[in-house]
Amino acid sequence: MTSIKEREDKILSSPQSLTVEIEHLDGKGNGQAVYWRETEDGRRKKLKLTVPQTLPGEQVKVKVANPERKRQKAVLEQLLKAHPERVSPECPHFEKCGGCVWQHWDYTGQLTEKTNHVKKVLEEQGFDSTIVRETIGMEHPWNYRNKMEFTFSSDGSLGLHEQGNFRKIIPLETCLIAGELMADAAMEVGRWSKDHRLTGYNKDTHDGLLRHLMVRKSFTTGEMMLALFATEPPTDELETIAKDLMERIERTFPQVKSLLWLVNKEVADRVQSSDTYVLSGRDFIYDEMLGFRYRLWFDTFFQTNPTQAEKLVELALEMAQPQKDEKMIDLFCGVGTFSLPFANRVEKLAGIEIVETSIESAKRNAEDNGVGNTAFLAKDARRGIDEIAEKFGKPDLLLLDPPRSGAGGKVMRKIGRLNPERIVYVSCNPDTLALDLKELVPFGYEVKAVQPVDLFPHTVHVETVCLLTRK
Ligand SMILES: C[S@@+](CC[C@H](N)C(=O)[O-])C[C@H]1O[C@@H](n2cnc3c(N)ncnc32)[C@H](O)[C@@H]1O
């Protein structure tokens, strides 16, 4: 497979230079343009171009490898007319790294685009978009992520994936969206790997020792976790090398309360493990949100922008207005980020979630925080709703926070038939949100409030909280 740089070099060495205007952005945040090409027999043929790192209305000169095709990815060669909100990207890795796509866009412009997108997809499903509020942004839209995954290249250096090429690693110098100290701690691990001349995992030959490094950090307790994924355990000849890592980290990053060596021999390139070795500290770290304490293991799903996630929970509480005599369901509850603050305000709460370890964590988190009026069920949402409804009766309030794929028609219709008085839908994908909301209309529900919240500055993603009530 060729790298982006090689592809760009190939494109840039070809003579096909075109001038186009960027019309709009695609779902990944890339500029889209159309070029009309004259064929030798005088016909006009349409060429659709995707031009990364451009903005609507910009006039650009681009290089294209195969203009005879219908669709092409183009490389920006020269900016002829810039968007008024274009800014210089802050991060030196921006052009190559796959992490951020909009660092060239002023932050207020990004927020407006996110609001407009939520409005557009709701309108397309027949909803009144005037109720969509302006996206709540971050005061300081940097260093917001509490979890990062870095990858080792086969020479053992640690870095970030190149945009569009999971085989190419850009050596890590900094990461402006990772929480403070996270990239520094990762670079210390990178130096340790270099000093011991350790090899990185090669995805083609399946040789090599080191695969990934996951860094987690709690912004409230300050505790950090470093989880190193390797193909071999830290035993025999690797024991002294692992001990050196432990000593270096203990000396330089006392915030690391969990240093793990995880074994992953699988071909699948996922952050997973068959055996866990605790090199120092515990196998989890403590985090806190809105005064509740959570234990986070290496594989626990937890909101990755804690500053904005707190706002999300507060907004959901404000919209839902939970009451002390009410019964509530938290569907897709994860480890209980919404469940615990809501449970303290209702009579009883049932959480449903498909991942068993998350349900175990939710139960433990409820216990650790003295929240006694909860029941958590490890089930697929569809079957979980029936089971809870049977035991629990009709809920007054239902909150759902599904994955990007949405809840789907079957789950939404089950919710409609369950007929709760109020529904709060927390979504990380406006497109599936709009489709899901439409399913509730025949059941007499009305969308009362829509608030987008920016949890992922410099990316296309936007979170949305909606309130629905019965007419
Ligand atoms: C966006 S996360 C929300 C988690 C939680 N509300 C939070 O804020 O931490 C979506 C959750 O839905 C769970 N999930 C995915 N598919 C599911 C299904 N079919 N039934 C139940 N839960 C599911 C995932 O495991 C994940 O924890």
Architecture of domain 112-139+301-470: 3-Layer(aba) Sandwich (3.40)
Q: What's the one-letter identity of residue 332?
A: F
Give 348's strand partners: 327
Q: Do residues 461 and 152 touch, judged by C-beta distance below 8 A?
A: no
| Residue 354 Cβ contacting ligand 1 at under 6 Å | yes
10 Å CB burial of residue 288 (0-12, 13-18, 19+) is middle
Q: From 431, 361, 426, 427, select the one nearest 399 (Cα to Cα).
A: 426
Helix (H) or strand (E) holding 108: helix 107-124
> What average pLDDT does the segment 395-413 reach?
97
For the CA atoms of 151, 156, 157, 159, what is the dihedral angle to 10 degrees? -10
pLDDT in tens, 245-295: 999 999 999 999 999 999 998 877 666 677 999 999 999 999 999 999 999
| Residue 290 Cβ contacting ligand 1 at under 6 Å | no
pLDDT in tens, 46-58: 999 999 999 999 9
Per domain, the residue ranges of the chain are 4-84, 112-139+301-470, 147-289
Judge whether 112-139+301-470 and 147-289 match in fold: no
Residues 6+ apart with CB under 8 A from 251: none
Residue 428 annotated in active site: yes
Please give the number of the atom of ligand 1 that sits closest to the Cα of 428: 1
Q: What is the rounded CA–CA span in Å between residue 293 and residue 316?
A: 19
Architecture of domain 147-289: Beta Barrel (2.40)
pLDDT in tens, 174-213: 899 999 999 999 999 999 999 999 999 988 888 999 999 9
| Residue 110 Cβ contacting ligand 1 at under 6 Å | no
Cβ count near 284 (within 10 Å): 20
Does the annotation flag 401 for ligand binding?
yes
Looking at the chain, the whole-number percentage of residues with pLDDT higher than 90 is 81
Confidence bin at 5 (pLDDT 50/70/90): low
Q: What is the rounded CA–CA span in Å between residue 258 and residue 186?
A: 14
What rounded mean pLDDT belongs to the chain? Answer: 93
Query: What confidence score (pLDDT) does residue 8 get?
Result: 56
Q: Do residues 452 and 462 touch, judged by C-beta distance below 8 A?
A: yes
pTM: 0.91
For the CA atoms of 51, 54, 55, 57, what is the dihedral angle to 10 degrees? -70
Catalytic, out of 97, 333, 428, 466:
428
The CA-based angle 438-444-449, given to 5 degrees, is 65
The CA-based angle 340-302-266, given to 5 degrees, is 140
pLDDT in tens, 90-109: 998 898 887 889 999 999 99
Alpha helices in 257-299 (DSSP H): none
| Residue 428 Cβ contacting ligand 1 at under 6 Å | yes
Q: How many helices (H) and strands (E) does the chain have?
A: 10, 23
Architecture of domain 4-84: Beta Barrel (2.40)
Query: What confidence score (pLDDT) does residue 313 get?
Result: 98
The question of ipTM being above 0.90 is answered as yes
pLDDT in tens, 297-348: 998 899 999 999 999 999 999 999 999 999 999 999 999 999 999 999 999 9
Task: Tell how far the Cα of 43 is from the centroid of ligand 1, in angstroms.
Answer: 52
Confidence bin at 13 (pLDDT 50/70/90): low
Structure tokens at 327: 């019964």
